[in-house]
Structure 1
Amino acid sequence: MSHFQPEDDRYVGRQVRTIRARRGISQQVLADRAGLSRSAIAKFETGLRPIDSRRTLLALASALGVTIGDLTGSQEQEKLDPATAGFHAAVPDIETVLWARGNVTDTRPPRPLDELARLTHTVTKLRNDCDYAAIGPMLAPMLTDAYRHVHEADSSNAERAYDVFGTVAYGVASALRARGYHALAWSAAEEADRAARRIAAPAQLAAAAFSQGQIMLSRPGALPAALATTMGTADRIAADVRTAGEIETYGMLHLQASMVAATMGSDPEPHLAEAAEQAGRLTEARPNTSEARNESFGPANVTLWRMSAAIERREPGQVLELAPGLDPSELPNEGRRAQYFVEIGRAHAMQRNHRDALYALLRAEHAAPQHVRTLTPVRELVGHMMRTARRNLTSGDLGKLARRVGVVPT
């Protein structure tokens, strides 16, 4: 067994124990509130069992009256990481631009709309590859320019200005959510939705709803609203979905709905089947009429989300059956490739195959280090393996990975 000292470890169950003690409630009371067994609470709190599903994490957060961030502490730790400091340093400026709706002391002339549109594609690629440090300083100036264009637009270019603005706001919301700034991400997503409604663009409406659904998925009690938002929008735009961008963003709504369904304990398959059907339409889709796209969407990404839904439902066998049929090189960006290996790692860990789990997590980290090192399931899994794996693992690659993801002191 490992020589690792558990008192040095950082894991969600330890924070659960701390908050429970401060609330003055017993393990049994917490178990009753969360719909779990007292023995499960005890294992979480002592680190004998990782909290490895979103459903359990949400249940504990709701029972304790806190947010997921209060339990994981991942954002506060990430702010100390030099690799992502550039993103966090840019957040106050992004917040100011959103509060002021672009009316800020920025004397630069705004970029032309076409240049701003091209820049959104650059930022989207960086975001999909999880290079948040690179995009952080770019977001506030882009958002300022986008606001200026919609404020100054006349009837001849208003639709184009709002379309570009919606794409910028969606990108800002996605980046903020990924780094844990959920309230600010919601403000950006609302701006994207406001722009989409102004021009009644199906792809923009879908993108904004997808972003809102993802944000709500992080909040205890908001799962029904997340499903209603995504599927309500999907139902409203379904008859108008024709272009590639519309199919992509509409398909992503169904993928998001599949994850919400899995988290709620219901069947994700109807949503996955609809997404797969939409992916099959892409080859004959009409050209885009909007800047809104989600080029991650496609048959390979549908399979990946099917793997993620299976993990959430604690079906590791299905994950490992699906994985060989998906070539990670077919996935469209580093973020998606990293997620593929994370899901394989989690599946192996559920089957107590720690060596293969470690190998998969190392491949995931190589693909998207900024993203993988801050994922709560990865940190929980790595910490659990440190407590239970053999010494030859903990003193080698696993121990180094544990320090990089921050579950043990450096």
Structure 2
Amino acid sequence: MTPDPYGDPLRFGQRVQILRGRRGMTQGQLADLVGVSPHTLRKIENGQQKVPGLEMVMRIAEALRVADLSDLTGRLDMHVDLFIGPGHPRLAAVKAAIDSFPLASAVEPPPVAHVEARLHAAWKARHRAPNHREVIGQLLPDLIADAQLLVRHADTSSDRRAAQSLLAQTYALAQFFIAYQPDPSLLWRVTERGMIAAQESEDPHTIGVAAWLMAQAHRDSGPRHFEAADAVNLRALQFLEPLLPDSSDDVLAIAGALRFELGYTAARRRETGTAWAHWDASNLMASRLDLDYYHPVTSFSQAIMGAHAVTVAVELHQGAESVRQAARADEHTIRSRPRRARHRIEEARGYALDNQPDVALATLEKAHRSAPETIRYNGYARSIILEAIESPRAPGRRRASKLATEIGLLAA
């Protein structure tokens, strides 16, 4: 009887061998994926070589597509979700700025208009830059420090509300930087602080953005948190909907984005009718916006609704429908480079579901050209590429290996 790598007290090498066998991979294929010789891998599996360092363990875990690092190591205290990408070089500096809370400061904050202009420029840079995490990672530490200073030095209730709004928007930008990186506790600190600052601001649009981000954080934590995601979405919509008849475009757009999030979560549950009903309601809200309008945080717009339809179809595991929606969505241009790359990844998932692996890989190459840092940190993209590397067709393997090397999945 084959041992169970998840239950039996096995050596690391035995776990590698069993999990590799379950993936249908040869020693040569796995060795090539992780950058060692077949001889070295054979010694690891046979226990003739000591357990490799953490970097190599992570490479093996990712190549074997285990759900959790403890599945490979056998140590339950080593829980690491492998759908989270590698840490960005600027993560430590951003984390230090978030965690820093000087209790007193003689430093005068910059003018509110100055911080507001920098924040606006940071959001624009985030949408335009192919390596958007690098760009906003440079800007975030000073922005966080200055926004916190503004709150501490606010003299009037009006000034304090305005400062809290800027702080909440800064935390929102930080959440985009931190997402899919190996520090979920930091993500939650930023998410919760952003919501608190938004509530203190009393600004409907700021509250809506914070709720949108919090709902995503809940949903991305797994199925057990879907109800919490829905609860945040629904409360935010109940708060915003009475304001919509006379609201600004930004408030209408964040309400539309929240409505779509309900559909996204329903699709994750495979609730087909509910998912498409929320998409329809969200699409109706988008139709009230000008054709050239684009929400500065969520990218909500008329143009984004085609991409959202692809996402719903993919999450419902409707391969053919995903492909059909992808063809329709390409009629519109998504302005944001990272959001455009994310859409390409969703399209690639659809093509993979529809058993078109070559088209899926070609679509991921488009995503890489649009925004390399988006695909580098996206677990779905990494999974599709790793699957393509195991293709029986040599051209597909070479193409996948080249893309894997470019995004850092394989050593150059």
Does residue 348 of structure 2 align to residue 338 of structure 1?
no
1:88 to 86, 91, 96: 91
Match of 1:370 in 2: 373
8 Å CA contact 2:204–2:251 kept in 1: the answer is: yes
Does residue 14 of structure 2 align to residue 15 of structure 1?
no
String of CA shifts for 1:316-355, please: whole Å, max 9, x gaps: 2112111222237621211121122212222222222222
String of CA shifts for 1:47-89, please: whole Å, max 9, x gaps: xxxxxxxxxxxxxxxxx9986xx231643xx23xxxx42x223
Letter of the 1:71 partner, please give it: D
**RMSD between aligned residues:** 3.0
String of CA shifts for 1:290-327, please: whole Å, max 9, x gaps: xx953611112122112112111111211211122223
Which stretch has the larger CA shift, 140-149 or 294-303? 294-303
Match of 1:111 in 2: 110
Instruction: Output aligned runs, 1:287-306, within 5 Å.
Output: 293-294=296-297, 296-306=299-309
Q: Residue 246 of structure 1: CA displacement?
A: 0.6
Match of 1:382 in 2: 385
Letter of the 2:339 partner, please give it: R
Distance 1:103 1:278, change over 3 A: farther
8 Å CA contact 1:8–1:409 kept in 2: the answer is: no
Letter of the 2:143 partner, please give it: M
Gaps of 5+ in 2: 1-24, 34-59
Instruction: Output aligned runs, 1:29-178, within 5 Å.
Output: 70-72=80-82, 74-75=84-85, 78-79=86-87, 84-85=88-89, 87-97=90-100, 100=101, 103=103, 109-128=108-127, 129=129, 131-155=132-156, 156-178=158-180
Distance 1:377 1:165, change over 3 A: same
Higher RCO structure (Cα 8 Å, ≥6 apart): 1
Q: Residue 103 of structure 1: CA displacement?
A: 4.1
Secondary structure of residue in 2 paired with 1:282: coil
1:212 to 211, 214, 224: 214
Identity of aligned residues (%): 19
Does residue 311 of structure 2 align to residue 308 of structure 1?
yes
Distance 1:280 1:351, change over 3 A: closer
Match of 1:405 in 2: 407
Aligned equivalents of 2:289 and 2:171: distance in 1? 25
Match of 2:276 in 1: 269
Match of 1:281 in 2: 288
8 Å CA contact 2:150–2:163 kept in 1: the answer is: yes
Letter of the 2:132 partner, please give it: D
Aligned equivalents of 2:310 and 2:138: distance in 1? 34
8 Å CA contact 1:186–1:215 kept in 2: the answer is: yes
Gaps of 5+ in 1: 25-63
String of CA shifts for 1:160-208, please: whole Å, max 9, x gaps: 2222222112222232224353322222222222222223221111111
Distance 1:217 1:127, change over 3 A: farther
Match of 1:5 in 2: 29
Relative to the length of structure 1, the TM-score reads 0.77
8 Å CA contact 2:313–2:321 kept in 1: the answer is: yes
Which structure would you say has the larger Rg?
2
Match of 2:363 in 1: 360
Aligned equivalents of 1:257 and 1:375: distance in 2? 22
Aligned equivalents of 2:260 and 2:78: distance in 1? 27
8 Å CA contact 2:148–2:167 kept in 1: the answer is: yes
8 Å CA contact 2:342–2:374 kept in 1: the answer is: no
Relative to the length of structure 2, the TM-score reads 0.76
Secondary structure of residue in 2 paired with 1:330: coil
Distance 1:104 1:186, change over 3 A: farther
Match of 1:234 in 2: 237
8 Å CA contact 1:91–1:136 kept in 2: the answer is: yes
8 Å CA contact 2:348–2:363 kept in 1: the answer is: yes
Does residue 286 of structure 2 align to residue 245 of structure 1?
no
8 Å CA contact 1:6–1:387 kept in 2: the answer is: no
